[in-house]
Amino acid sequence: MPTAADLDAAIRDVPDFPKPGILFKDITPILGDPELFKTSLELLAETAGSEKIDKVVGIDARGFIFAAGVAHILGAGFVPVRKKGKLPWTTHQMAYSLEYGEDVVEIHADAIKPGEKILLVDDLLATGGTAAASIKLLKALDADIVGVSFLIELTGLNGREALSHSKLHSILSY
């Protein structure tokens, strides 16, 4: 089975995307390779440890790809946290700051029952703004957040401090 080092080797760095100064971590070469994709899902699923997870929550949009696969491995449900205006039914909302302005994430009001054990998954931790807003949404639903797991962590942006979650895992850090 491939290792985290093989995932690292497959990630493509794209300078100045989507705007100047951003070094974009392109994970599509992992997704397109059956063995690498499987490994990425298995390593993320392992971050749950021995906890029985009820639902894996994925963050719009690349987080969905990983969270759905992890949910399948763990025998858990999948719940999407989406950008504003995409979910059809009653939602809870949380605003968060961007470099300029703000954005909003939403979750269906009935997506999680109080006390359910949740693993939150996204592709990449940068400043932590999106994940922090998602954690607030989950707490508002009285979820028991067992872990917060990312394939990639950009350590220079201090997202880990912004989240201050005791069970934060990343498979690769840069």
What is the contact surface with ligand AMP in residues (CB under 6 A)?
Answer: 22-25, 59, 62, 122-131, 159
From the candidates 42, 46, 51, 62, give the one annotated as an active-site residue: 62
Strand partners, 15: 23
Nearer to ligand AMP by Cβ, of 51 and 68: the residue is 68
Please report how close the Cβ of residue 129 comes to ligand AMP at its closest, in angstroms.
4
152 touches 27 (CB < 8 A):
yes
Nearer to ligand AMP by Cβ, of 3 and 28: the residue is 28
Please report how close the Cβ of residue 162 comes to ligand AMP at its closest, in angstroms.
8
Q: Which of 138, 159, 157 is nearest to 94 (CA)?
A: 138
Nearer to ligand AMP by Cβ, of 62 and 115: the residue is 62
Q: Is 62 a catalytic residue?
A: yes
SS3 label, residue 58: strand
Q: Which of 73, 13, 43 is nearest to 149 (CA)?
A: 43
Q: Where are the alpha helices (DSSP H) in the chain?
A: 4-10, 28-31, 34-46, 62-74, 129-140, 159-163
Q: Which helix (H) or strand (E) holds 173?
A: strand 168-173
Please report how close the Cβ of residue 41 comes to ligand AMP at its closest, in angstroms.
17
Q: Provide the 8-state DSSP code for 158.
A: T
From the candidates 12, 99, 102, 116, give the one annotated as an active-site residue: 99
Please report how close the Cβ of residue 127 comes to ligand AMP at its closest, in angstroms.
3
Q: Which of 59, 114, 104, 54 is nearest to 81 (CA)?
A: 59
Nearer to ligand AMP by Cβ, of 51 and 62: the residue is 62
Active centre residues (catalytic): 62, 99
